[in-house]
Structure 1
Amino acid sequence: MSESEPNARSRLLAAPGWMRRHTPLLGRLVDQLAAVNVLDCATRLAAQAFLGAIPALFVLGAIAPDWVQEQFVSSIRTTLGLQDAALDQVRSVYSATDATAAASTGAVGVVVTLLSATACSRALQRMCERSWHLPKAKARLAAWRWLAWIGVWLTALLFQGPVQDAFGSGRLTGLLLAVVSGTALWWWTQHLLLGARVPWLPLLPGAVLAGVGQQLLSSASQIYMPHAVERSMQQFGSLGSVFVLLSWLIMLFVVITVAVAVGYVVAREPLPARWLRTPMDPLPPAR
């Protein structure tokens, strides 16, 4: 072993300490992302969202009015950029069914959807609590919040198509409106799922990062997703779209998890903390 190898290894091991001394903010960001365990949180959230989305599609296909079905198809197409065969698969979910089958599917489907979707709500709550270093809220205090989150986000998904087009005002205005609406939704989501233990203003940096990141991913999906879905369907058939959708959900929740985790660090920096009135004392228990 040459003398240069031990020296190189020593420099490598000393790098984190050097980084914290000379770039303390970067060091705090690295520590925060490691504590949150971004990839683990994102994967869990993607899996729970995927398990909740499929039953929801069947429920909506069975019991929703025609205009709601059409609006959901439009919003999914706009958000994911789906085309051709992949879009036909989505439309097939909303094909007409007889009244008896719709009633039967609706009764069972609503229960399955609620159970699956509340699992996603719970996973998202744990991610927010981990990012803000808070203890887990009691289930009896948080249960209604899980259901409220599901209802609001299903409504938001329903109108994603018109929002992206700014209700006919144009694509550029739609992008700005989508960022603003996404920021508002993630701001409210954090406050709701954290049980109002964190004041509104300190949650704003994470909400802005999430709103911007989500819209950047949606814009990139318009270019990437059609080709990715087409290639996967050629290789794996109809299951190909499932693989691509799950990968997209993982990317989405990586963006959201990083945004919320980084938002915590930004909100506690000296200057933003004064503006946002971030509490530095231990936060109160959930109400």
Structure 2
Amino acid sequence: MNRHRGVWAASTGGAVKRWRRGLHRAWEWLRVGALFAHGRELELMHRAMGFATLALVTLAPLLIVVAAADPLVRGGFASWLTDGMGLSGRSARVITDVISPPRKVIGTTSVWSGVLLAVFGVSFGGSVQNAYERIWGLASGPWHRVWRQATWLVALTAYLYQEVATKNALHGGQRITLSTLSGVAFFWWGQRFLLGGQVHWRSLLPGALATVLGLAGLRAFSHLVFTPLIVTNALSYGAVGTVLVVESWLIGVGFVIYGGALFGRWFTDHHWTPTHDHRDDEEESG
């Protein structure tokens, strides 16, 4: 009896050791540790918080004016925000009440104010560009490449606009397909463009795919968690509570955008192509 127990214990212990060795080899092959180390080096959460702050202070006012001037999409910037967060019902109405009505916004905004909002929006694009450069280990681009940041900002606005404009025109699988394709195209092109063509298209594709998947997951999380939280915070803290929830969501957006690009760099270096292959031999001019 004791002999059988000893044989069983030995076989079990051998299986556990083999399982541990296999797990260790899988961990080494995946090189997940390198991904976390790069995230700490980049200060990913800190950058995500900076992304949220700049988005709320510089990008949101510009989008409010753009949405208010659009005669085709009703609801103004509030409809943009609630669609992105996946909100509906009472939580969507709370967000709408916090955002200024479109007519009031467009009536109190001068041409000079619009120019200032555009300049501030470009600074937001510069922050995203700097994060991408840090992720890919590139030197900061010269100041005269600010036109790239401005162009990227226009493309971002167009991307967000089509997301909202297709809300009522398309449903179900059609909208999901369009959102996925347009999202991959924007984040794929956006990295390439802001980096001045220094990184090959092929190396940037995994990051674009990871970003779109992350944003889809964040939207589902927002629908489940932030929908009741917005109503609760609005009752407890008023408009300030609602803004805090929106700011938390923006932190998540920043984390996904930078984290997606970071994942793309890690995947490219360790599982797609050698490190020295991800850069183009020649930069684009400008």
TM-score range, shorter chain: 0.7 to 0.9
Q: Unaligned stretches of 5+ in structure 1?
A: 1-17
Residues 166-221 of structure 1: CA distance to partner in whole angstroms, max 9, x if unpaired?
A: x32x3233223222211111111101111111121110000100011112212332
- The unaligned stretches of length 5 or more in structure 2 are 1-23
Residues 79 and 54 from structure 1, CA distance in 2 versus in 1: closer, same or farther, beyond 3 angstroms? Answer: closer
Partner of 1:12: none
Contact 1:126–1:136 (CA under 8 A) maintained in structure 2: yes
Q: Which amino acid letter does the alignment assign opposite residue 226 of structure 1?
A: T
In 1: Cα distance, 2:115 partner to 2:88 partner: 29
Contact 2:198 2:279 in 1 (8 A): no
1:223 matched to 2:224: yes
Q: Secondary structure at the match of 2:258?
A: helix
- Structure 1 residues 248 and 283: alpha-carbon distance in aligned structure 2, compared to 1, 3 A threshold: farther
Aligned-residue RMSD, C-alpha: 3.0
The answer to whether the 8 A contact 1:163-1:178 is kept is no
The yes-or-no answer on 1:128 pairing with 2:132 is yes
**Structure 1 residue 26 displacement after superposition:** 1.5
Q: Name the counterpart of 1:279.
A: 278
Paired letter, 2:264: G
Cα separation, partners in 2 of 1:57 and 1:179, compared to 1, 3 Å? closer
1:268 aligned residue = 269
Aligned to 1:59: 65
Name the CA distance, whole Å, in 1 between partners of 2:82 and 2:216: 14
Q: 2:82 aligns with which of 72, 77, 96?
A: 77
Aligned partners of 1:184 and 1:58: how far apart in 2?
24
Match of 1:251 in 2: 252
1:68 to 1:281, Cα distance in 2 relative to 1, 3 A:
closer
- Counterpart amino acid of 1:93? P
The number of residues matched between the two structures is 260
Call closer, same or farther: CA 1:59–1:109 in 2, change over 3 Å. farther
Relative to the length of structure 1, the TM-score reads 0.79
Change (3 A) 1:199 1:236: same
Indicate if the aligned counterparts of 2:215 and 2:253 stay in contact, CA closer than 8 A: yes
Alignment of 1:235-250 (within 5 A): 235-250=236-251
Q: Report what 1:26 is aligned to.
A: 32
CA distance in structure 2 between the partners assigned to 1:109 and 1:93 by the alignment: 18
CA distance 1:247–1:224, change in 2 (3 Å): same
SS at structure 2 position matched to 1:183: helix
The separation in 1 between residues aligned to 2:178 and 2:65, in whole angstroms, is: 29
TM-score, normalisation: structure 2: 0.79
Distance in 2 of aligned mates of 1:246 and 1:19: 40
Structure 1's 52 and 19: CA in aligned 2 closer, same or farther, altered over 3 A? farther
Which has the higher Rg, Structure 1 or Structure 2?
Answer: 2
Contact 2:132 / 2:261 at 8 angstroms: preserved in 1? yes
Structure 1 residue 43 and structure 2 residue 44: aligned? no
Displaced runs of 4+ in structure 1, greater than 3 A?
18-24, 68-75, 82-85, 162-165, 276-287
Distance in 1, matches of 2:46 and 2:197, equals 25
